[in-house]
């Protein structure tokens, strides 16, 4: 996904954490077939950071979404979680329509837009507010991701 970074600054190559900071660095996403998952995440346009084996039965493949300070790791021997159990992590995008069209253009099946009003409601947020419009997609194992449109950050974010 090539949607612009909402902050205007890329955090992908940020400085090391400062004293007292705790940064989310890598999230393990459980998959059943590493090569199939690798091809899927490459098709999203995410940067391949590493593909290494650490002895017998351990392989780590790491990707970073454009502009993200956090990466994902898929592989063998890195998590006990069941493939497909990773659900609902949010990917912040500036323009959800553009991000959705980009994914569809890459051959990814993406849901229609929805917003939350006591539950999912079809269509974008009627007031166009940040943090309120979503679309979702799944990887080949059924791990789900949600696009979340954020055009203006909440104070302090």
Continuous segment of H or E residues that includes residue 138: strand 133-138
Q: How many domains does the chain have?
A: 2
Does residue 134 lie within any of the structural domains? Answer: yes
Question: Do both 77 and 91 map to the same domain?
Answer: no
pLDDT band for position 144 (cuts 50, 70, 90): very high
Residue 49 zone, left/alpha/beta (φ > 0; ψ -120 to 50; rest)? alpha
Question: Do both 108 and 140 map to the same domain?
Answer: yes
Looking at the whole model, is its pTM more than 0.85? yes
Chain segment 10-54, per-residue pLDDT in tens = 444 578 889 999 999 999 999 999 999 999 999 999 999 999 999
For residue 154, the model assigns a pLDDT of: 84
Domain that residue 40 falls in = 24-82
Q: In angstroms, rounded to a whole number, what is the distance separating the alpha carbons of residues 10 and 15? A: 11
């Amino acid at each position: 996904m090539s949607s612009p970074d909402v902050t205007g600054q890329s955090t992908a190559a940020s400085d090391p954490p400062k004293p007292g900071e705790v940064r989310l660095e890598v999230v393990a996403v459980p998959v059943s077939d590493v090569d199939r998952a690798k091809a899927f995440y490459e098709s999203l346009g995410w940067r391949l950071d590493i593909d290494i084996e650490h002895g017998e039965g351990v392989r780590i493949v790491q990707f970073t979404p454009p502009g993200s300070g956090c990466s994902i790791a898929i592989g063998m021997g890195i998590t006990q979680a069941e493939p497909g159990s990773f659900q609902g992590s949010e990917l912040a995008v500036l323009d959800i329509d553009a991000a959705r069209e980009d994914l569809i253009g890459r051959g990814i099946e993406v849901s229609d837009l929805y917003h939350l009003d006591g539950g999912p409601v079809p269509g974008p947020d009627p007031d166009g507010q940040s943090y309120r419009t979503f679309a979702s997609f799944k990887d080949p194992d059924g791990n789900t991701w949600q696009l979340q449109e954020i055009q203006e950050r909440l104070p302090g974010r």
